[in-house]
A and B are shown apart, each in its own frame.
Chain A
């Protein structure tokens, strides 16, 4: 043939080859299984040991190696944000903590289409209705664009259809839930001498407090500095934990525990907020039922203090283990209420990286990891389950009862009434401002009203800077 025709044919062939080559891998990829999936995870905060436990099962079920990388909280947060900001495809699955979500909605893959397609649900049935609804809606359901909005109402069941109808998306599946619970020294509360002494002093029965009004005399009763025993711990150190303590009390006093509502109204400087913070500060300053140094306490101090037997009660987000030399017994209860319950909660979810290459398999992985059977197995490493069925099993398991008393029962109940956070992209700034206010009130360097007012004016500026509208009044 002639040269020109030959060239044309060559061009056409190579064009077709390229074109076909571009198409081919995609279709081939959809069918081909990856060798490995990368999972970016937390450490003890999200019970990485439980995940490690089921990795062999995953490998045998899927024939894929799940590569687990764990990082402690601060490093994890930076890593998640940095990876997503750089649109890096390295991690297929990432664990996301609730306060990070509002800033990440455009970087994580919405699951709605996967949930509907039977092709991807061949291995595991996601069974959404089994998830604890309050935790699910708080941690996994967002509007992509207006990520500050919460799903309206308090649905009693996870309903994917409704979620889609309201214009929301599901961004992950919950794996570990945390909620504030009250731990107490059962041996002290059940002790007959203590009961008698309490009865004669207060004319009431000594039992685990149900309301904050009950709480005060019991804390005072157990405050014996000369015997190195105090009523309770608190967490007013300058950090997120102080914010979480405060918002719990705010919700108990009837305020909106989210601190800032979806229409950017502040609830923390309301009368309820001031009352709640005054009560909190009084426990420390007036009634002195807390150990020395409490105003710089954070999570680890609470654990250290209660576990060494220094306090009779403690509020924390996980089970407590007394030190070997402390002869006592731990039991759990819901954090007391005033007008209502309002324990702070937050749930870790497993999400799919929007830029990952193996999203379908990542989806299969997360449905399997959060499935009922897998979560039951992970109970062996004290996973905080996110499914109603798993809680039922945990509560009726005698081995777990022996080791953790009624922790799972209380955990499950508390999750049902938990109160989440405001969904602000600059939440950590806002949280810090509130924490500073709480700390100042706790140390007595500011009155609760002054502290909260100062926080309010600061947060107003932060909201504006983040580009949100300022609410009127």
Chain B
């Protein structure tokens, strides 16, 4: 009897799911389709669904033959370098911090924990202005560190939060037992705790990579040509002389593809990492 009343709800549920899936996919479909349409077919009414696919836009974008100020491929490289470096730094710095907050009893721990997590609400634009002024004075504009350090700072609260719950979930008994057996504290951490925390560390790293890769404001403000990242570059396909839709969508697909793949492969880890904080 309870089951009968479920049927309309189930139908509604299925409908919501299907509509959401279609809604989720349409913009991506548009992006990919337009990137393989010949230029003349990109903006037509009615929209063309039958056309001769071409890879000319990808060739143009990767070959540097667009009318943008710069070739696109180096921008992807810049993005990758910045994301990798910032993620490495976040993990390097975040793991010890998370360990301390989860395991080590010390005065001020609770306060630190709260404060570190609260920094997530600091709007980047507010930090961008002083950083811009200072970076200008120190000739740091358009250098790698000027992106890497802020990105690390933006992602640390998330990373620390995630890693803290991961480490806290590892039973202390394991460490206790190893200590009793005579292991040094560092040894315990390195050989017992960290390996068990690897799944969580991976989740944190993936999250950090995604956030760095997609970042726009700081990259827009603090880079010119040497370190310009892909999101800034893709925005330049629109300008005074119209929008090159083929090139824009090809570049967009190139930006989005790696993240889509990463997200797909690691979705479970990501979600479990983010929600661990909710469980006491």
Q: Is B54 an interface residue (CB 8 A)?
A: no
Q: Is B69's CB under 8 angstroms from A72's CB?
A: yes
Q: Is B139's CB under 8 angstroms from A73's CB?
A: no
Q: Which chain B residues border A308 with CB–CB below 8 Å?
A: 43
- State how many residues of chain B have any CB contact under 8 Å with chain A: 22
Q: Which chain B residues border A44 with CB–CB below 8 Å?
A: 67, 239-241
Q: Which chain B residues border A299 with CB–CB below 8 Å?
A: 239-241
Q: Which of B45, B69, B221, B238 contacts A228 (CB 8 A)?
A: B45
User: Smallest CB–CB gap between B72 and chain A, Å?
Assistant: 14
Q: Is A75's CB under 8 angstroms from B139's CB?
A: no
CA gap between A219 and B242 in the complex, in Å? 23
Q: Which of A48, A82, A300 contacts B241 (CB 8 A)?
A: A300
Q: Which chain B residues border A79 with CB–CB below 8 Å?
A: 224
Q: Is A473 an interface residue (CB 8 A)?
A: no
Q: Is B230 an interface residue (CB 8 A)?
A: no
Q: Is B40 an interface residue (CB 8 A)?
A: yes
Q: Is A318 an interface residue (CB 8 A)?
A: yes
Q: Is A275 an interface residue (CB 8 A)?
A: no
Q: Which chain A residues border B67 with CB–CB below 8 Å?
A: 43-44
Query: Given known contacts A71-B225, A325-B40, is B136 in contact with A85 (CB within 8 Å)?
Result: yes
**Residue among A69, A75, A228, A300 having the largest count of chain B Cβ atoms under 10 Å:** A75
CA gap between A315 and B239 in the complex, in Å? 16
Interface residues of B in 208-264 (CB under 8 A from A): 220-221, 224-225, 236, 238-243
Q: Is B141 an interface residue (CB 8 A)?
A: yes
Q: Which of A45, A72, A82 contacts B141 (CB 8 A)?
A: A82
Chain A 297-321, CB within 8 Å of chain B: the 1/0 string?
Answer: 0011001100110000000011000
CA gap between A308 and B241 in the complex, in Å? 13
Q: Which chain A residues border B238 with CB–CB below 8 Å?
A: 300
CA gap between A376 and B142 in the complex, in Å? 36
Smallest CB gap from A79: residue in B:
B224
CA gap between A70 and B71 in the complex, in Å? 12
Q: Is A323 an interface residue (CB 8 A)?
A: yes
User: Smallest CB–CB gap between A366 and chain B, Å?
Assistant: 21
**Which A residues are closer than 8 A to B by beta carbons?**
43-45, 48, 69-73, 75, 78-79, 82, 85-86, 88, 228, 299-300, 303-304, 307-308, 317-318, 323-325
Kindly list 16 other residue pairs between chains A and B, CB separation below 8 angstroms, not including A43-B68, A44-B239, A300-B241: A44-B240, A71-B69, A71-B224, A71-B225, A72-B236, A72-B239, A82-B136, A82-B141, A85-B136, A86-B137, A300-B238, A300-B239, A300-B240, A303-B240, A303-B242, A324-B40
